[in-house]
Amino acid sequence: MTEKEKMLNGELYMPENDEVLFNERIKCKTLCYQFNNLSPDKLEQRKELIKKIISKTGNKIWIEQPFICDYGYNIEIGENFYSNHNLTILDCAKVVFGDNVFIAPNVSFYTAEHPIDYEIRNKGLEYAKPITVGNNVWIGGDVTVLSDVTIGNNVVIGAGSVITKDVPDNVVVAGNPARVIRHIDSKLN
């Protein structure tokens, strides 16, 4: 089994010494560099580059510069997606966003994990688990979403939160680690 196959299967893999993964990261990071260094008024070029970086996108998406990801091909974005500045997605595993997702500045999604056992970790091995974000989700600034997490539909995540476990539908969560603050049971604030 190749290192890429191990990565995509959530198994321990060696990212640094694998030529295929290295070349794929360089290709993606070069496209991110081009995107991040375009003048903000180059709207069509920005849209074209994002479509080259990310494997699957809806028609109505907008990502403010700068944007960083590892591979791009593990990211899927639904319709009506907006991300403010400094979105980081470490997409060694799938990161899937539903429709109507709004992301504030400085938000990070980390699928990569490192073994707790230092002897294994020191060999350079890591693994990755997916992240899924449902529909109608608003994520506040400076939020970190860790691997192997599913965020439900109709969720609001408070600024500065660290999401370490699944978030159910129709809730507001906040904190480090994030916890349910309240349930959303009406369309009123």
Note the pTM of the prediction, 2 decimals.
Answer: 0.95
Q: Is residue 76 part of a domain?
A: yes
Is the pLDDT at 26 greater than 60? The verdict is yes
Rounded CA separation 45/51 (Å): 10
* CATH code of 156's domain: 2.160.10.10
- 82-111 pLDDT per residue, tens: 999 999 999 999 999 999 999 999 999 999
Share of the chain above pLDDT 90, in %: 96
Domain count, the chain: 1
Q: Is residue 157 part of a domain?
A: yes
Q: Is residue 91 part of a domain?
A: yes
- 29-83 pLDDT per residue, tens: 999 999 999 999 999 999 999 999 998 999 999 999 999 999 999 999 999 999 9
Domain residues for the domain of 137 are: 3-183
Split at pLDDT 50, 70, 90, the class of 187 is low
Split at pLDDT 50, 70, 90, the class of 2 is very high
Rounded CA separation 119/135 (Å): 40
Q: Is residue 189 part of a domain?
A: no
Q: Is residue 36 part of a domain?
A: yes
Active site residues: 114
Per-residue pLDDT, averaged over 114-142, amounts to: 97
Rounded CA separation 115/84 (Å): 32
Residue type, 147: S
Rounded CA separation 86/96 (Å): 18
Rounded CA separation 12/77 (Å): 26
CB 148 within 8 A of CB 184: no
Q: Is residue 188 part of a domain?
A: no
